Amino acid sequence: MTEELTRLSQTLPIWLWNISLILFSILTGIIIKIILVPLVRREAIAQASYSLFRSFIRHFNKILGVFIPLIVFSSLLPFTRFNPSTLSVVSKTVEILLISCFAILLVRTVRVFEDYLYHRFDVNKENNLRERKIRTQIVFIRKLIITIIVIVSIAIILLSFESMQKIGAGLLTGVGVGGIIIGFAAQKSLGNLLAGFQIAFTQPLRMDDVVIVEGEWGRVEEINLTYVVVNIWDKRRLVLPINYFIEKPFQNWTRTTAEILGTVFIYTDFTIPIQQLRDKLTELLKGHPLWDGKVNVLQVTDFKERTMEIRCLMSCRNSGHAFDLRCYVREQMIQYIQSNFPESLAKTRITYNEGTSVLDSTK
């Protein structure tokens, strides 16, 4: 086969032979795309369930159309008839492109594995504490691995140039004056990175946790290498450095379970019948789908100068349900009091005794 190619190369003009090899390499990429495009379309239509094959096609269909022609052309380089200087440039270019494509293939492989783990640990079910713990670690490890792949790939490319070998070696070993200077300059970023490691494995918070930070209620939307994005209830995004969650206190409403107690405070006059309010709360909760049936308590928790504080306590499966149920109970209880005990709404009393001046009554 080698002898035949050599003999054939001698029968054609140099420019025609070189172009033929390039076109042949490109043709392999076109054939790959022709094979993959129907598969991509078919798998795009079948979105009902997870499939490892579908994940592979989705992540690899574009890069394979570049990587395989490069492999073919690289194997044909010995048979090209470039002059030595041109061959050196072409070989170096192909080498760099192959390293880059291989790095992308590694990243895509990580993505395929991540898709499998996302399917294996689905966070959409009701009690998803274990799944959210694992997904938090998956996200952080995936970003860390991709960062390492990119750094190592750049280092390998630099090492392929004689004049850049020192820089490439420095990137791989992480030593040298430049590394020390960068380390001092980026010590805050490095601190965030170490905090990310701590969060990924000790997990004071996880993906999709409900948290109260900076006085805002929201869900953890992203955990990156150096920062966390919290999706606030009104669709704003709060971006915080990741070491914030190591150094400062914050509320995590789903740390061990999504279950939460909801409270409603009502302020009424002292004359309202407590037992009837307690019965009404039970009636409201038993007829509501958001109540999980565990906690149903109404108590007088405090007396003020002019009002009595009544606390309604109820349990829910998660904080979102708790908020909606609290609003419902608050509205229904105040409507019940207005309709049945209007005289027991909070009021200010002024007692006037005959023969006593207004000035005296205020002393």
Q: What is the pLDDT of residues 239-285, one digit of tens each?
A: 998 888 888 888 888 777 767 888 999 999 888 999 999 999 999 99
CA dist., res. 151 & res. 154, Å (int): 5
Report pLDDT for 156: 84
Assess whether pLDDT exceeds 70 at residue 174.
no
Q: What is the mean pLDDT of the chain?
A: 78
CATH class, 204-252 region: mainly beta
pLDDT digits (tens, 9 = 90+) for 5-62: 666 666 667 777 778 877 888 888 778 777 766 666 665 555 556 677 777 877 887 8
pLDDT of residue 164: 61
Greater confidence, 175 or 5?
A: 5
The tokens for 252 are: 């995590």
Q: What are the residue ranges spanned by the domains of the chain?
A: 2-120, 204-252, 260-344
More confident residue, 288 or 8: 288
At residue 229, φ and ψ (nearest 5 deg) are -110, 125
Higher pLDDT, 159 or 231: 231
Looking at residue 70, its pLDDT comes to 85
Task: Work out the average pLDDT over 115-133.
Answer: 73
Rounded percentage of the chain residues whose pLDDT exceeds 90: 18
pLDDT at res. 87:
81
Region 91-112 average pLDDT = 89
Cβ within 8 Å of residue 121, ≥6 positions away = 130, 131, 134, 135, 138
Please, which residues have CB within 8 angstroms of residue 334's CB and are 6 or more apart in sequence? Answer: 266
Indicate the pLDDT class of residue 169, thresholds 50, 70 and 90. low
What is the pTM (predicted TM-score) of this model?
A: 0.55
Lowest mean pLDDT segment, chosen from 179-183, 236-240, 291-295, 322-326: 179-183
Q: What is the pLDDT of residues 128-165, one digit of tens each?
A: 667 777 777 788 888 888 888 998 888 888 877 776 65
| Residue 271: predicted pLDDT | 87
CATH number belonging to domain 260-344:
3.30.70.100
